[in-house]
């Protein structure tokens, strides 16, 4: 069915593709303007983010896009709410991440 309740999407930075307590929260955004979202519906949001200054090691990181991160929607499957996006960083250069919009389908 449709996603009837308002919800928040969030972005975290992580060393891996798995959402857990070691990930760093970056930002969240209310998705109230999208409700109700029909089953199999989608929406696009564009947002600028600032990454923490403490990123000091070269390597791959992940931005984890978490839809309904406060679990406001009644769902039968809560395991499909994280969408990892890999990107490499070199902290000797300014850290600038440009991520194209993600299409998020309702569950």
Confidence of residue 25 (pLDDT cuts 50, 70, 90): very high
CA dihedral 76, 80, 7, 3 (to 10 degrees): -50
Element (H, E) at 62: strand 59-66
Render pLDDT for 48-63 as a digit per residue (tens, 0 to 9). Answer: 887 777 776 677 889 9
Separation CA 49–CA 99 (nearest Å): 10
Q: Tell me the mean pLDDT in the region 3-12.
A: 82
Separation CA 78–CA 18 (nearest Å): 14
Q: Tell me the mean pLDDT in the region 86-101.
A: 63
What average pLDDT does the chain have? Answer: 78
Say whether pLDDT at 19 is over 90: yes
Confidence of residue 64 (pLDDT cuts 50, 70, 90): very high
In terms of Cα–Cα distance, which of 34, 11, 30 is closest to 105? 34
Using a pLDDT cut of 90, give the percent of the chain over it: 23
Whether this prediction's pTM lies above 0.85 is answered by: no
Say whether pLDDT at 89 is over 90: no
Using a pLDDT cut of 70, give the percent of the chain over it: 73
Domain locations in the chain as residue ranges: 8-105
């Amino acid at each position: 069915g449709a996603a009837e309740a308002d919800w928040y999407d969030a972005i975290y930075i992580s060393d891996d593709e798995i959402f857990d307590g070691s990930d760093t929260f970056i930002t969240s955004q209310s998705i109230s303007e999208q409700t109700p979202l029909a089953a199999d519906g989608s929406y696009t949001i564009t947002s600028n983010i600032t990454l923490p200054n403490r990123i000091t090691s070269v390597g791959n990181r992940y931005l984890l896009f978490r839809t309904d991160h406060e679990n406001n929607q009644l769902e039968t499957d809560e395991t499909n709410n994280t969408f990892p996006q890999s990107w490499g960083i070199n902290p000797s250069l300014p850290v600038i991440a440009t991520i194209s919009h993600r299409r998020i389908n309702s569950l």
